[in-house]
Amino acid sequence: MPQKTPLYQAHIELGGKMVDFAGWMMPVNYQQTLKEEHVNVRSNVGLFDVSHMGEIRIKGSEALRTVENLTTNYVGGLFDGEAQYSLMCNEQGGVVDDLIVYCVKKNEDYLLCVNASNTEKDFEWIYDHNLGAEIINESDSWAQIAVQGPKAYELVEKVIPGFRSDKLASFCFLETQYAGEQCMIAKTGYTGEKGFEIFVDKKVGQDLWYDLLAKGKNLGVLPIGLGARDTLRTEMKYSLYGHEITDETFPHEAGLNWVVKADKKDFIGKNAILLAKEQGYRHKLVGFKLKGRGIPRQSYLLFSGDDQEIGWVTSGTLSPSLNESIGIGYIKPEFAKIGSIFNVQIRGKFIPAEVVKTPFVKPN
């Protein structure tokens, strides 16, 4: 049976169209269309239930050593209240998961926010590669709400007493309280817009959700489902586990070498990643636009002008912001330059496409 987030009842009351996503009952959209929800995030502000994400705490005197060994980014550079995007990799250099590391207390307390579909897998991986830290799966304790859009700062300031968005830098967070319960506000997100991800005790998660909706009415706030979440991140060319990154993906081929700090530390998969990088690219991740009709979907194949198979689509959609068909995919390096033309096979037909600069849209 799929699990339900602490906000499940609110989704039902708001007319959410519920589906099973990564083992969780989640709304695809509400009473608005996907396009209306998407555009509202780009122009006003939207609320996303991301309570299905996993939260794993690593604490104790060996916490830093353990997190450094598990992740590719340099955790030792973080101070209290700072966060970073990172990867966990396997011994072969493939990506176990992408995640955000929150430094609660330098050297001894870190919170890892991982993908919902990978929470159990990640917890076992972390547990099996622990170097002496205390490992706690806190996923059942938290509700998590993402507040995203040009008016996100104004909305959160209305709801969290004394909070000032200008006092918090990007990829930083602060611990506070909401309705007398623990709360953490992080200036992070998955849309490219201004915004926060708010972690709150699950007992008051639904209260916070409705509070944000009520106080955001004059800002045009809307609840946003999984459909718009995916189109928003695709317009930014943000990777999604199971699409752009998998257990076989090397970070450099996914354009994620910027979070691999091999010169600063050792970590699981380091030698394999360095060897793969030295050997060059098997394929590169690119963004492209279709030059004909159709929508590129995951696993559709890419072909050269002389009908040679050269790659595959990882994500694709009709961009609500551009009203154009856009896609992300892996392609042989010689076809990865901006302006390169290739074909996407859609229902037996070859549709021309062009590699373009990303992100596809400039956030507000």
For 1-34, letters b (16+ CB in 10 Å) and e give eebbbbbbebbeebebebeebbebbbbbbbebeb
Residues 246-290: tens digit of each pLDDT: 999 999 999 999 999 999 999 999 999 999 999 999 999 999 999
User: CA-CA-CA-CA torsion for 270, 276, 280, 281, nearest 10 degrees?
Assistant: -100
Residues 325-334: tens digit of each pLDDT: 999 999 999 9
CB 81 within 8 A of CB 173: yes
Residues of the chain with CATH 2.40.30.110: 281-356
Q: How does DSSP assign 141-198, residue by residue?
A: GEEEEEEESTTHHHHHHHHSTT--GGGS-TTBEEEEEETTEEEEEES--SSSSSEEEE
Q: Which CATH number fits domain 281-356: 2.40.30.200, 2.40.30.110, 3.30.420.40, 1.10.10.10?
A: 2.40.30.110
The confidence score (pLDDT) of residue 364 equals: 73
The confidence score (pLDDT) of residue 265 equals: 98
Q: Is 331 helix (H, G, I), strand (E, B) or coil?
A: strand
The confidence score (pLDDT) of residue 29 equals: 98
Q: Please tell me the pTM assigned to this model.
A: 0.97
Q: Does an H or E element contain 282, and which?
A: none
Residues 184-202: tens digit of each pLDDT: 999 999 999 999 999 999 9
DSSP-assigned beta bridge partners for residue 288: 327, 355
For 79, other C-beta atoms within 10 Å of its C-beta total: 9
The confidence score (pLDDT) of residue 363 equals: 83
Q: How does DSSP assign 40-103, residue by residue?
A: HHHHSEEEEE-TTSEEEEEESTTHHHHHHHHBSS-GGG--TTEEEEEEEE-TTS-EEEEEEEEE
Residues of the chain with CATH 3.30.1360.120: 3-52+140-235
Q: Which residues of the chain have pLDDT under 50?
A: none
The confidence score (pLDDT) of residue 233 equals: 98
Q: What is the CATH number of domain 3-52+140-235?
A: 3.30.1360.120
